[in-house]
Structure 1
């Protein structure tokens, strides 16, 4: 298991869950996993499966890229011209 990735995802999930004002139990029920699984995920002790990752993003209203630690640029880059 990639511990850095697990920690990054867990931190982002916890942050998004807090911003949404949801408890671990509410999110766990919504994505149909035991609360213990969500707790371990938030602590970086478990990497989510792809279906769980997608479900989390749907429930929390965030893009998958956010959970992976990427942030969209503030201002879109101008289009490149290809010659």
Structure 2
């Protein structure tokens, strides 16, 4: 179960990093982890801790939902009705 989740998260992180135009080293430095740790995370060999996940979302400008599921949450309707 965790292996599949790790792979999915790694794939989503890599896609977000490429979209942001950042290197592994740049992201690793921004979230205060060694580049080797970030590389393992991106290859699906390591699950991110909660602080690392939050940091990734900030640096890569994506939602937690994107990192975990590969899709962004839909924005609520401007009137707050959710429709």
Task: Give the TM-score, by structure 2 length.
Answer: 0.85
**Mapped partners of 1:24, 1:9: distance in 2:** 15
**Mapped partners of 2:45, 2:70: distance in 1:** 21
Q: Structure 1: 5+ residue runs without aligned partners? A: 79-83
Root-mean-square deviation (Å): 1.9
Match of 2:62 in 1: 62
**Mapped partners of 1:52, 1:40: distance in 2:** 13
List, as ranges, runs of 4+ consecutive aligned residues in structure 1 with deviation greater than 4 Å.
none
Number of residue-to-residue matches in the alignment: 78
Task: Give the TM-score, by structure 1 length.
Answer: 0.85
**Mapped partners of 1:39, 1:70: distance in 2:** 19
**Mapped partners of 2:36, 2:7: distance in 1:** 16
**Mapped partners of 2:70, 2:18: distance in 1:** 19
